[in-house]
Amino acid sequence: MSSYFRNIKPKQTPSAVRQRVRLLTNDKAAERQAETQKANNDRARMTRIRGAAQTRSKIQGKPAGRFSDGFLARVRHHLARGRGAADIVIRENVLMSVVEAAVAQVRKEVA
């Protein structure tokens, strides 16, 4: 993979060179750009996760708002291990609202 990046040459237009020099010499500009890139990356990641969750819900064949038995079993497994909703979101790659609803349903079954 490093050979791929080695073959990419940065643009040499005057505006591109000015921008790179500005980011190297101006800390505030570099921080602003890093924050913007992080926000964009986070937004893109949430879009991918949302799409995966929607696809998964369609594949499971359950009506909206209901969870498959397999997903509830995985949620029960994670809860038995002492994991919180945030850990389940990361491990299962599902939306936080979906996991919170599943956790609430599992806890209601137990009570």
Instruction: Report in angstroms the alpha-carbon separations of 44 from 16, 22, 38, 49, 92.
Output: 25, 26, 10, 9, 18
Task: Output 60 or 40, whichever has higher pLDDT.
Answer: 40
Task: Output 97 or 1, whichever has higher pLDDT.
Answer: 97
Euclidean distance between CA atoms 53 and 45, whole angstroms: 12
How far the first Cα of the chain sits from its last, in Å, is: 52
What is the Cβ-side half-sphere exposure of residue 75, based on CA atoms within 13 angstroms?
A: 23
The pTM for the full model equals 0.45
Which alpha helices (H) appear in the chain, and where do they start and end? 2-6, 14-25, 27-60, 69-80, 85-92, 96-110
Euclidean distance between CA atoms 77 and 24, whole angstroms: 48
Euclidean distance between CA atoms 44 and 94, whole angstroms: 15
CA angle 42, 8, 25 (to 5 degrees): 65
Is the pLDDT at 48 greater than 60, yes or no? yes
Task: Output 62 or 6, whichever has higher pLDDT.
Answer: 6
Give per-residue pLDDT as tens, 71-105.
889 999 999 999 988 888 888 888 888 888 899 99
Give per-residue pLDDT as tens, 23-32.
899 999 999 9
Question: Mean pLDDT for the chain?
Answer: 84
- Across the range 38-45, mean pLDDT stands at 88
